C-alpha cells in the first residue's frame, strides 16, 4: 500500500508538542511579569537602597515635588533625582549619616543609586507626566498623600479602568495648575462648573480611544 503522508509529517506531533510547551512558558512569563505586585497590588512598597522619607522632606521641610522631580512639567517621565540633587543638601546636612552612605558612594563613584521603581506601567502603555500636570492633574491624584509616606507605596491600581474614569469625566479631578503639587487639596465651591468652563476654553479632551495610550 503506497504511503499517504510524506515521511517529514512524522515531525508534526513533535512540533505541536513543542509549540504547546513554548506557549505555556510564554503564558507563565506574561502572568508573572504583568500580574506582579509592581502592576496590580495597591500597597506595594519595596525597600529602597536609601531610606528616603517624603514625610520629612515634603511635609516637615516643605520641599516642592519639582525640586527633585524637575522634569515632570516638560517630559513624559517624572525623573528620579540625580545624586547631585541629594548632595546639594547632604554635603552639609547629616554628612556622616550611615543611612546616606549609598548616596555618598554614588557621588564619589559617579554611579547611579539603584532605586526600585514603585509606579510601573506595562511596556505597551504610554503616559506623559507633562501632559497631565500641565492640564490640571495633581500629583496626589495618582500618587496619593506622598507627603505622609515614610516609604513610597502604590495607592492606586494604575489600571486602564482607573485611568478611563478620569479621562471620561475630567471635570471631577482637575485643579488649578498652581495647585498641582498641593497635598490634601480640597476643591472649592463651584469647581465642577469652573472645570467644565476650563475644559471648553482650553480644549482639554482626554482621549478614550485605544491608540492614545497603547502602542
pLDDT in tens, 23-51: 777 776 666 555 555 556 889 999 999 99
Instruction: Check residue 34 and give its pLDDT.
Output: 59
Instruction: Check residue 166 and give its pLDDT.
Output: 96
Instruction: Check residue 9 and give its pLDDT.
Output: 60
Q: Taking 60 as the threshold, does the pLDDT of residue 1 lie above it?
A: no
DSSP label of 59:
I
Confidence of residue 13 (pLDDT cuts 50, 70, 90): low
- Per cent of the chain over pLDDT 90 is 74
Task: Record the cell numbers describing residue 193, joined without a space.
Answer: 462648573
Largest CA distance in the chain: 93
57 closest CA partner among 149, 126, 142: 149
Instruction: Check residue 23 and give its pLDDT.
Output: 74
Give the chain's count of helices (H) and strands (E).
11, 0
pLDDT digits (tens, 9 = 90+) for 144-193: 999 999 999 999 999 899 999 999 999 999 999 999 999 999 999 999 99
Q: Taking 80 as the threshold, does the pLDDT of residue 19 lie above it?
A: no
Q: List residues bridging with 214 in a β-sheet.
A: 125
Question: Does the global pTM surpass 0.95?
Answer: no
Q: Is the dihedral of CA 51, 55, 58, 61 positive or negative?
A: negative
Instruction: Check residue 40 and give its pLDDT.
Output: 62
Q: Taking 90 as the threshold, does the pLDDT of residue 107 lie above it?
A: yes
CA dihedral 162, 165, 171, 175 (to 10 degrees): 0
Amino acid at each position: 500500500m503506497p504511503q499517504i503522508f510524506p515521511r517529514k509529517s512524522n515531525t508534526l506531533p513533535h512540533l505541536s508538542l513543542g509549540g504547546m510547551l513554548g506557549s505555556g512558558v510564554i503564558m507563565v512569563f506574561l502572568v508573572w511579569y504583568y500580574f506582579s505586585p509592581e502592576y496590580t497590588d495597591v500597597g506595594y512598597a519595596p525597600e529602597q537602597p536609601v531610606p528616603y522619607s517624603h514625610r520629612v522632606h515634603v511635609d516637615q521641610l516643605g520641599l516642592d515635588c519639582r525640586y527633585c522631580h524637575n522634569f515632570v512639567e516638560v517630559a513624559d517621565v517624572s525623573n528620579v533625582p540625580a545624586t547631585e540633587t541629594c548632595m546639594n543638601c547632604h554635603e552639609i546636612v547629616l554628612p556622616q549619616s550611615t543611612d546616606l552612605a549609598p548616596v555618598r558612594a554614588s557621588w564619589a563613584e559617579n554611579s547611579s543609586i539603584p532605586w526600585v521603581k514603585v509606579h510601573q506601567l506595562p511596556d505597551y502603555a504610554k503616559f506623559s507626566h507633562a501632559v497631565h500636570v500641565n492640564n490640571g492633574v495633581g500629583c496626589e491624584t495618582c500618587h496619593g498623600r506622598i507627603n505622609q509616606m515614610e516609604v513610597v507605596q502604590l495607592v492606586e491600581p494604575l489600571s486602564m479602568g482607573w485611568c478611563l474614569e478620569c479621562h471620561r469625566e475630567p471635570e471631577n479631578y482637575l485643579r488649578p495648575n498652581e495647585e498641582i503639587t498641593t497635598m490634601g487639596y480640597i476643591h472649592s465651591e463651584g469647581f465642577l462648573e469652573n472645570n467644565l468652563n476650563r475644559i471648553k476654553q482650553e480644549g482639554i479632551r482626554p482621549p478614550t480611544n485605544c491608540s492614545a495610550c497603547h502602542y
